[in-house]
Amino acid sequence: MKSILALTPVFLSAVSAAAIEKRQVTQFDVTNFVAGCTTAGTCSWSFEFAETPGGPSFSCAGTAPAAQPGNIFPTTSGTHACSDPAVNFFFQHIAPLSSYRIVVNDVRTVPGIGGSHAFAASEFSSASGAEQYVGTGSFTIVLPNP
């Protein structure tokens, strides 16, 4: 019993250190971002991101049915898991701006961290008959201060 109690402060110290370390992440660096819908009625998203400074990297991808008339991004994609299932994202329509945003969350530790990136309406095109993201494939999601 004494040995268990002796280890308790060490365990609690490690848990506290993990939470503090987690909050030191200041941004998600997104690369290889691709998003688009098909005329057949499916939309997809894929990207990679790294937590910085010095955090792990993840791959994320997901699909969802397109919104009506069948070739535009849905109001929300639903939540999709990344390469680590405790890291997820969703893609969401912002009606007042006629545009979209992506929200990324990492809940591997408490407190979790997350942030979003809003896209300009000009970063989307329907020239191919289905809505496509035509903006840059790399951007930064700056995380809110703890």
Predicted confidence (pLDDT) per residue in 57-70, tens digit = 999 999 999 998 77
Residue 21 has a pLDDT of 46
- Tens digits of per-residue pLDDT, 89-140? 999 999 888 899 999 999 887 788 999 999 999 999 998 899 999 999 999 9
- Tens digits of per-residue pLDDT, 9-67? 444 444 434 443 445 788 999 999 999 999 999 999 999 999 988 888 999 999 999 99
Residues 132/124, Cβ–Cβ less than 8 Å: yes
Question: What is the model's pTM?
Answer: 0.80
Kindly give, in sequence order, each residue whose CB lies less than 8 Å from that of residue 88, ignoring residues fewer than 6 positions away: 60, 79, 80, 81, 82, 104, 105, 107
d(CA 28, CA 51): 5
Residue 43 has a pLDDT of 97
Q: Which two tokens stand for residue 114?
A: 């997350």
* Amino acid identity at 92: Q
Q: Which residue has the tokens 């995380």?
A: 143
Residue 146 has a pLDDT of 61
